[in-house]
Structure 1
Amino acid sequence: PTSPDRGGGWGRTITGIAAAGVVTVLTISVMGQMAEAEQPGSPTSQETGDDEGGAGAGGKEPNGAGDEVEEGAEAPPGAGGTPELTYDEVMAQTLPLDAELTASGELVPVEGTEDGPYPDAPDQYRYRVDVESGMDVIDPEVFAEAVHRTLSDPRSWTNGGARSFTRVSSGTHDFVVTLASPGTTAEWCAKSGLNTTIDNVSCDSASTDRVIINAWRWAQGADTYGPDRMHEYRQMLINHEVGHRVGYGHAVCPSEGALAPVMMQQTKFLTIDGITCEANAWPHPGNS
């Protein structure tokens, strides 16, 4: 656009021919930009900035597939990012974690409380969940949820209402279920005279208040369960180590083809003395 001259009127230095030339140039330029915007992948169509963090005119956002989704509407699967996984889907996944990792050593309580399933049970346990910082591939809240869901399941150590497990994040507690890197697991288990480095396993560090779940095993599982039974393997880990804490020792396979006792060292083997059991995550698998 032109600007006012000092006399207060619009400048008259542009002749009619020059003005027509400017209009022609502008018209060609605009048409060129429109044509460029129509080309898939062009800078004009992909790099134009919008207000409010990328929302376009009319309150719509691109879904990444060339379509638009009205504000407040749910995007179709695969559009606009990765759909949120369910709890069961997360628990079924393996995770990348170094078998020789020693993380920060800082064991951080997971916030939140959850009541046990049997408020009138004669044996009441209060436990905390801690997760070592520096292991970004593991969600502490998912781990805490897994612990509480497992211990509250009627197939677990509630023994038909004889016990109940309440999760706390502060105050008094009976034990701390702790997810720790392999190096930190070894340090805490050694406090109770246990060597977890041979098979990179978990432990109940009985001379401390910590039930230690080895994060590498949590992330990668064991050959005895394989990659398709990660959720079940994680439940077994929790039940086995908490089982030690509430007073149970190791068990062996009772007969060929039977379900393995949860206190059998299933991370290491399912066959002992020539007898092979089926993998099993629960103390009372028949309860429901």
Structure 2
Amino acid sequence: MTGRLAVVHYLAGLSLAAATVLALDTRTVPMRVTAHGRPPVVTTPTHADPRPVRGVGADLPPGAPFPVHGTGRWRVVPGTAKPTGPGPAFAYSVEVEEGVTLPEGDQPFAAQVHHTLVHPRGWKRRGFEFRRVDTAPTLRIRLAAQDTARELCGFDLPYDTSCRIGDTVYLSAPRWIRGAHTYDDLTAYRAYVVNHEVGHFLGYGHEPCPEDGARAPVMMQQTLSTANDELAALSGEAPADGKTCTPDPWPR
């Protein structure tokens, strides 16, 4: 997995109002974050965002406050775990940006990441194993404040995104805390965003909805939409064939 290009894979969707703008799925970005030098602050919605029709939803849902500013430096959440199966395993660390304070602390975030990676319905079912480490990781999974995630993952269009750059996954704190309109269950959405971005690290690209009414592939841009027609209009990464899937956070 070494020598991987630093590539950004967008997760967050584009609103239908931005359908005329082509959203590039990949772009080259710097590997370091410039420190903001500002104290952490949080934001709350200034108005009630209407929940869009199921299947599309670029805007951040209303909900709890989230960290806006970070320092560009990262703290490792302590904890190690052995792989749950035989064979080689990717060594990964869980990290949180300095300046990001989670109400429940760092450990629940790390626990959910680990639970997703070792779950029998996760990438394990395709033969991938993971072991959590504190040092020398092959894969870093980081929770980033809003400004940092926008700087790294891009903000050409005004929607918060998560992304994978090289051997590092950056999870947007606003998305982690509020999720996406396509998911009613925040825990399921969190499993999806981890699986999707780690899927890019494993070499998988985006996939469309295979059959109308089927479960969405984990590599479908489910934050953006679960409808092929909408994906075709927004990013051009699916055929405009009328097929719409239901959200599903797990690889198959």
Interval containing the TM-score (normalised by the shorter chain):
0.5 to 0.7
Partner of 2:197 in structure 1? 241
Q: 1:195: how far off?
A: 5.0
Distance 2:157 2:120 in 1: 33
Q: What's the TM-score once normalised by structure 2's chain length?
A: 0.66
Contact 1:186 1:197 in 2 (8 A): no
Q: Secondary structure at the match of 1:185?
A: helix
The answer to whether the 8 Å contact 2:64/2:178 transfers is: yes
* Matched residue, 2:170: 212
Summarize deviations over 1:108-152 as a string: whole Å, max 9, x none.
Answer: 11111011111x22x410001110122223521111111110000
When you count helix as a share of all residues, which structure comes out higher?
A: 1
- 1:169, distance to aligned residue in structure 2 (A): 1.0
For 2:76, the aligned partner's letter is: P
Runs of 5+ consecutive residues of structure 1 not aligned to the other structure? 1-93
- Does structure 1 residue 95 correspond to structure 2 residue 51? no
> 2:137 is matched by which residue type in structure 1?
H
Are 2:69 and 2:100, in contact at CA under 8 Å, matched by a contact in 1?
A: no
Aligned to 2:72: 105
Quote the residue 2:161 is aligned against: 201
Match of 2:244 among 273, 276, 282: 276
1:108 maps to a residue whose letter is R
Change (3 A) 1:167 1:252: same
Indicate the SS of the match to 2:89.
strand
Report the alpha carbon displacement of residue 103 of structure 1 after superposing the two structures with TM: 1.9
Rg larger in structure: 1
Query: What SS does the corresponding residue of 2:181 show, helix, strand or coil?
Result: coil
Whether the 8 Å CA contact 1:129–1:144 is kept in 2: the answer is: yes
Scaled by the length of structure 1, the TM-score of the pair is 0.58
Q: Percent same amino acid at aligned positions?
A: 38
- 1:240 deviates by 0.3
Are the counterparts in 2 of residues 203 and 241 from structure 1 also a CA contact under 8 Å? yes
CA offset digits 1:203-225 (Å, max 9, x no partner): 0012xx31111110000111101
Cα distance in structure 1, aligned partners of 2:173 and 2:204: 23
2:90 to 105, 121, 125: 125
**In structure 2, C-alpha distance between the alignment counterparts of 1:104 and 1:150, rounded to whole Å:** 27
**Cα deviation, residue 95, structure 1:** 3.5
2:58 corresponds to: none
- Secondary structure of 2:92's partner? strand
- Equivalent positions of 1:164-203 (< 5 A) are 164-170=129-135, 172-189=136-153, 195=155, 198-203=158-163
Partners of 2:195 and 2:218 within 8 A in 1: yes
One-letter amino acid of the structure 1 residue matched with residue 80 of structure 2: T
The change in CA–CA distance for 1:105 and 1:135 in structure 2 (over 3 A counts) is same
Which blocks of at least 5 consecutive residues in structure 2 are unaligned?
Answer: 1-62, 230-241
Aligned pair count?
177
CA distance in 1, matches of 2:78, 2:120: 25
User: 197, 200, 206: which is aligned to 1:250?
Assistant: 206
2:31 corresponds to: none
Aligned to 1:146: 112
